[in-house]
């Protein structure tokens, strides 16, 4: 291989492997998929694009298969990450949970209040109050990673922990506020399957396939019950064992980690980009310019951009100021502010909740997408600019050691 074609003698396959391992790669692919969806939706292929999404396969439209089927795997990964972090990770002790937990709560409450300030008077529009309440972890970490060592690893850990708690809050919101009419027989079947999954865990079963088979049945029962089917993914995740089987070597990989590592590439490089492509397409043909100033997109955009920043930064700063938690190591107030701005990137979960809030109105759906795009782009740009302009603080030896351990 000619080294001149590949600087530093790197093989293309090596570059691809490095790209797939980087935190930025999932966010980059998501951005590319969303941009492609916008191009296709406003090209001569727009008819085929929208017709495909609304065509039916095995009783569900393609759009529903993406949002109810593929996204169940996304929520399975979210559930696995939540369980691992709560039991054996960055959220395993209360001191570690305080700062990201309080910041996550503020980052969900304030955006919802901003949205309701614009749309609370209309009962239909008020259903979208949770749209600006979630942070897109892949997108936000992607922007952070592109900034390189200017951002200390402690802030990456803070953002990851905050986004995981944020995802947990979004799951609870979906279960409580975006559930259709319930079918008690289907719920009963789901409860029986869940009991069987818990039984597998308590019995010490460490083989994954019984959990996955029962998980598929759980997804079908939850889909028929009226509860959103993606919650089956989170429920399944909570029953997958984190500890290896008794008598196994200490270095044997636990079932939860095996499953998480197996599905993570599929979620990052297929499921989330496909979701972005299927849900980001907005046709601007015949669209009135007033949609840009409507209360729905304004409430979402300002909720993400201003609400997230105020909620996350305000509560985090106050918690540190009152002495309940410490500033993340190697970080300053301005860097914390920049990360709070990045929390306003709400792409994946915001679009998902928007589809649940307004499932039968294409016009409101388009307005949701405009608001999510505007708020997320503003947040990503402002956060990146702040973190780029703020001088990087000098990290201590312990922080450098942590970065080396994580391969940062």
pLDDT of residue 394: 43
Structure tokens at 355: 């589809």
Residue 304 has pLDDT above 60, yes or no: yes
Q: Distance between CA 355 and CA 128 in Å, rounded? A: 9
**pLDDT tens digit sequence for 317-341:** 999 999 898 888 888 899 999 999 9
pLDDT of residue 401: 39
pLDDT of residue 1: 41
Residue 308 has pLDDT above 90, yes or no: yes
The pTM (predicted TM-score) of the whole model is 0.77
Q: Which of 85, 20, 100, 137 is nearest to 257 (CA)?
A: 85
Say how many C-beta atoms besides its own lie within 10 A of residue 213's C-beta: 10
pLDDT of residue 146: 74
Q: Distance between CA 129 and CA 154 in Å, rounded? A: 31
Mean predicted lDDT score pLDDT of the chain: 83
Q: What percent of the chain has pLDDT over 90?
A: 43
Residue 306 has pLDDT above 90, yes or no: yes
* Torsion, CA 94, CA 161, CA 236, CA 220, rounded to 10: 140
**pLDDT tens digit sequence for 90-110:** 777 777 789 999 999 999 999
**pLDDT tens digit sequence for 213-227:** 999 999 999 989 888
Q: Given CA atoms 130, 133, 138, 140 in this order, what sign does their dihedral have?
A: positive
Q: Distance between CA 406 and CA 327 in Å, rounded? A: 20
**pLDDT tens digit sequence for 112-134:** 999 999 999 999 999 999 999 88
Residue 277 has pLDDT above 70, yes or no: yes
pLDDT of residue 400: 42
Indicate the range of 119-123, 161-165, 188-192, 203-207 predicted with least confidence.
161-165
- Whether the Cβ atoms of residue 95 and residue 254 lie closer than 8 Å to each other: no
Q: For the chain, report the end-to-end CA distance as a whole number of angstroms.
A: 29
């Amino acid at each position: 291989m000619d080294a001149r074609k590949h600087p530093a003698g790197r093989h293309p396959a090596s570059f691809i492997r490095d790209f797939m391992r980087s935190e930025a790669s999932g966010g980059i692919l998501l951005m590319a998929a969303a941009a492609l969806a916008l191009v296709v939706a406003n090209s001569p292929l727009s008819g085929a694009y929208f017709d495909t999404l609304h065509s039916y396969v095995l009783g569900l439209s393609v759009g529903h298969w993406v949002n109810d089927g593929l996204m169940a795997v996304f929520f399975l990964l979210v559930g696995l990450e939540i369980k691992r972090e709560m039991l054996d990770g960055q959220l395993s002790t209360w001191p570690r949970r305080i700062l990201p937990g309080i910041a996550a709560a503020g980052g969900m409450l304030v955006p919802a209040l901003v949205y309701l300030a614009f749309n609370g008077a209309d009962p239909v529009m008020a259903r979208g109050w949770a749209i600006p309440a979630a942070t897109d972890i892949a997108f936000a970490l992607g922007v952070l990673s592109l900034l390189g060592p200017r951002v200390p690893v402690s802030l990456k850990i803070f953002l990851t922990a905050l986004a995981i708690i944020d995802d947990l809050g979004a799951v609870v919101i979906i279960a409580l506020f975006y559930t259709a009419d319930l079918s008690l027989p289907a719920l009963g079947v789901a409860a029986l399957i869940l009991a069987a999954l818990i039984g597998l865990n308590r019995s010490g079963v460490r083989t994954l396939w019984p959990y996955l088979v029962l998980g598929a049945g759980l997804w079908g029962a939850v889909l028929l019950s009226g509860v959103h089917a993606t919650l089956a993914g989170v429920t399944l995740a909570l029953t997958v064992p984190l500890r290896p089987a008794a008598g196994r070597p200490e270095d044997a990989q636990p079932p939860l980690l095996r499953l998480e590592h197996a599905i993570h590439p599929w979620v990052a490089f297929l499921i989330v980009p496909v979701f972005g492509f299927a849900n980001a397409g907005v046709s601007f043909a015949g669209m009135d310019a007033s949609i840009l100033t409507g209360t729905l997109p304004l409430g979402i955009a300002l909720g993400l951009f201003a609400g997230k920043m105020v909620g996350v930064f305000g509560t985090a700063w106050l918690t540190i100021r009152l002495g309940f938690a410490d500033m993340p190591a190697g970080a300053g107030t301005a860097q914390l502010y920049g990360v709070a701005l990045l929390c306003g990137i709400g792409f994946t979960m915001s679009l998902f909740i928007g589809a649940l809030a307004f499932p039968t109105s294409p016009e409101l759906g388009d307005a949701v997408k405009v608001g999510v795009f505007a708020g997320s782009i503003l947040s990503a740009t402002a956060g990146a600019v702040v973190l780029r302009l703020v001088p990087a603080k000098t990290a201590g030896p312990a922080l450098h050691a942590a970065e080396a351990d994580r391969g940062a």
